[in-house]
Amino acid sequence: MRILEVHHWQPRFPYNNAAFYARRGDRVDTSLLFAGEKTPDPRGYDAVVVYGGYMSAYDEVAHPWIKEELRFLEACLGAGTRVLGICLGSQLLARLLGARVYKSEKPEFGFTPITLTDEGSLDPLFKNLNAGKGFLGMEWHNDAWDLPKGCAHLAMSERWRNQAFRYSDRVYAIQFHLEFTREHMLHALFDKKGDLPRGEGIESPESFLADPKRFDSVRATMENMLGGLLAIV
């Protein structure tokens, strides 16, 4: 299949889904709209994955390319392309669909159990994850979204209710991360250590990096979820 990955910075390392694509023989292209690259045609791709970023989905004054990315996502929806928005990607989808995106009163950082709603436990992307009982997610966000009107609410965490939604039958948004390796996070925590959410209920950087098995868990979940997305007819 033909996959387009939309990044909001130049990736320093491959994400942990690279081996998944390689095993399948998928063709993976990268789009850097934030760097002024030409907007791709979504009709040329079977699926689009929109990753996170440090910027806010509502701050097109500082980041004027956000308007162009919203137009691109609108074109994806119009073309019936499978879409997975992660963190900032989920916030951009929520904004496009008319929901409020804003600074959260309860920012999250660290590995967090993700609980599925009744609808989420039946959803094609989530039902095979721990038999629909939930899974471990990786959180790092200061912003959040309200559930867009007409979308299915799929998942929540103890600290923040809105963790995943589905629009139509092929557009998904997840607030949590699954794509980062431990190598990614070692460098990210060093580069952005002054920007980490802090306070009660937020994991420390030392605890976050301590158990490599948790990174293996989110990689397995990422592959499972992508398999579900790419299986949608």
Domains in the chain (CATH in brackets) are: 2-231 (3.40.50.880)
Task: Check residue 194 and give its pLDDT.
Answer: 67
Q: Residues 60, 105: contact at Cβ < 8 Å?
A: no
Task: Check residue 19 and give its pLDDT.
Answer: 95
Which of 48-62, 63-77, 89-103, 127-141 is the least confident region?
Answer: 127-141
**More confident position, 192 or 82:** 82
Task: Check residue 151 and give its pLDDT.
Answer: 98
The identity of residue 133, as a single letter, is K
Mean pLDDT of 146-159: 96
Q: Residues 174, 86: contact at Cβ < 8 Å?
A: yes
Nearest to 188 by CA among 215, 223, 162, 216: 215
Mean pLDDT of 100-116: 94
Mean pLDDT of 102-123: 94
Catalytic residues: 87, 177, 179
* Angle formed by the axes of helices 212-231 and 182-191, nearest 10°: 110
How high does pLDDT run on average in the chain? 94
Write a three-state SS string for 7-47.
Answer: CCCCCCCCCCCHHHHHHHCCEEEEECHHHCCCCCCHHHCCE
* Cα 96 to Cα 196: distance, rounded to the nearest angstrom: 27
Task: Check residue 197 and give its pLDDT.
Answer: 81
Across 141-167, b (16+ Cβ under 10 Å) vs e yields bebbbebbeebbbbbbbebbebbbbbb
> In the beta sheet, which residues pair with residue 112?
137
Q: pLDDT band at residue 191, thresholds of 50, 70 and 90?
A: confident
* Cα 33 to Cα 12: distance, rounded to the nearest angstrom: 17
* Cα 189 to Cα 203: distance, rounded to the nearest angstrom: 13
Percentage of residues of the chain with pLDDT beyond 90: 85
**More confident position, 192 or 6:** 6
Strands 101-116 and 152-156: antiparallel
Single pTM value for the model: 0.96
pLDDT digits (tens, 9 = 90+) for 204-222: 989 999 999 999 999 999 9
Locus of tokens 């794509």: 179
pLDDT digits (tens, 9 = 90+) for 1-52: 999 999 999 888 899 999 999 999 999 999 999 999 999 999 999 999 999 9
Task: Check residue 132 and give its pLDDT.
Answer: 74
Task: Check residue 133 and give its pLDDT.
Answer: 81
